Every structure is written in C-alpha cells, then in structure tokens.
Copies of this chain bind each other. A is one copy, B any other.
Amino acid sequence: MTKLFVVGTGPGHADLVAPAALKAIKASTDLVAYGLYLDILGEVCDGKKHHDLPLGEEIGRARLALDLAAAGKATALISSGDIGIYAMATLVFELLDRQIQGEERHPEWLDVEIEVVPGVSAMQAGASRVGALLGHDFCTVSLSDLLTPWETIEKRVHAAGSGDFVISFYNPVSKKRDWQLNAARDVLLQYRPASTPVLIGRQLSRPDETITITTLAELDAKDVDMFTMVSVGNSESRHIINGTEQWLYTPRGYKKKL
C-alpha cells in the first residue's frame, strides 16, 4: 500500500501548523507543493524531494502527487490554509473519480492510501485577528469565475444576502479579475446596511500581514489583491473601539440573556 498525504499547513505562521501536518511531511519522501508554502515549514522539509510546479498548475500537481504515491513514494501534497477548502484535495478525489468512471488510464492510483490533514483556513485566521467575526452562521464564496460561471456566483451572493450569512470571499480579485468583488458588494448592499463591517486581511499570520477594517459601502476592489481575504459581517455584526484597539464580532443572540 502506497501513501498520499493531502496536507493543509494553515494560513502562514508556523504556530498554526498542526502536528498532524508535520507528521505527514516527516513520513513522506516526496513533497508536491508551490515553493512558498514550504518556506514556513523549515527543517521538516530538509532532505525531501521537492516537486514544484507553477501556480495555476493545480491539476498537474494533483496528477503528479498521485503518480508519485502510486510509484511507491510516500508523498505529501501540500497547500496553505485548509487543503480541503478551495484547494487541492478535491482535485485528487476528482481524478480518482475519473479513474473509477474509466475516464483515466491510471488504475494504479486506486491502490494509493489517502489521508487528508485539515488546517486553519484564511477566514479563521482573519476572524481571530479582529475578534470573532465568524461567531454565527457564515458562508464562503469564491469569486473566481474561471471554473464557476458568474451567474452561479452571483446567485450565491444573493442567497448569502437573503440568508444574512457572514460571508468570506475567497479569490476576491486577481490580475485578470478586477470587477467581481465590487459586483458582489453591490449585491450585498441590497440586503444589509452600508455600514456593515468588513475585514480585509492580507497575508494573514505572515510577517507582512495587514488588517484593514472598513464598511460594506467603502469596500473597493482597488484595496484588495490576490493575497487578500475579505469577510463581510452580517446585519448584526458589530465594530467596537476600545482606545487604540478595535474589534469585529458577530453576536450569537445571547444579548437578551446577558
């Protein structure tokens, strides 16, 4: 039995890498990952064969990881955040699914034992840095329309608005996608106040982290790049200021009981 670990290493800081992730990497001889993801891991990666592929080569990376594991090399496929959330894990299972359906010619993939290690996702790091923005029902929406039609994304933003979910936008902008975030903001403004608090978190938990608190009305794609995660509060989320500190939180409804 050959083994493939599918590992999320958290938002960036080494203190948020779970011991399970380090164990999986230690047990592997081959690491498939975008180079920057390994920098935070340090010594545990020493002596491992590192297979790097450019960003954007996600499918190639998933195929390579399955091929290596099937060839008998204990392999870790690694991404930052939670590898199960908008990341590589789902591609691995989609490839296995294709093989089961007879759409691939890699029966050896089906002999690979797979273990997925979850991690802290960017929305959680962001919420923790400003308080408790995810304190009640929330959703995530990827604004990338490379793989999902914009009509589907827009429908989801409407649903999130009508359900009054706290929303975290993943992939809010890229070099080629600059209008989706503002379009999503305009949809949400139909459902919740212009003053709704918004967190813009860039390079969360990394040395060059920046945290910006703004409002839904002021949210603008020009202040956001591809290293950024955006979370929009629900209609009850609160922005509180205590001297030089400020916090965002979403109440669970305890107020009447306090």
Residue ranges of A at the interface with B (Cβ–Cβ < 8 Å): 10, 13-20, 23, 58-59, 82, 84-87, 89-98, 100, 110, 114, 116-121, 124-125, 127-129, 131-142, 147-148, 152, 155-156, 158-160, 162-165, 238, 240-243, 247, 249-255, 257-258
Bound together, the chains give a CA A238 to CA B94 distance in angstroms of 9
Given A84-B124, A117-B128, A160-B159: A91 and B252 interface contact (C-beta under 8 Å): yes
List the B side residues contacting A243 at CB < 8 Å: 110
A100 CB contact (under 8 Å) in B17, B117, B139, B242:
B242
List the B side residues contacting A97 at CB < 8 Å: 238, 240, 249
30 residue pairs from A and B, CB less than 8 Å apart: A18-B18, A18-B120, A59-B258, A85-B124, A85-B135, A85-B138, A91-B252, A93-B131, A93-B247, A94-B249, A94-B251, A96-B242, A97-B249, A98-B258, A100-B242, A114-B131, A114-B247, A116-B131, A117-B128, A118-B120, A118-B128, A120-B120, A121-B124, A137-B141, A139-B163, A142-B252, A148-B252, A155-B162, A156-B164, A159-B160
| Interface contact B84-A118, CB-CB below 8 Å | no
| Interface contact A16-B10, CB-CB below 8 Å | no
A124 CB contact (under 8 Å) in B13, B82, B159:
B82
List the B side residues contacting A14 at CB < 8 Å: 19
A253 CB contact (under 8 Å) in B147, B158, B249:
B147
List the B side residues contacting A240 at CB < 8 Å: 93, 96-97, 100
Bound together, the chains give a CA A29 to CA B97 distance in angstroms of 51
Bound together, the chains give a CA A242 to CA B137 distance in angstroms of 35
Q: Which residue of B lies closest to A239 (CB)?
A: B97
Q: A84-B127, A160-B163 are in contact. List 15 more A-B contacts (CB 8 A).
A: A15-B20, A16-B20, A18-B120, A19-B19, A84-B128, A91-B254, A93-B132, A100-B240, A114-B131, A117-B128, A118-B127, A139-B140, A139-B165, A159-B160, A163-B163
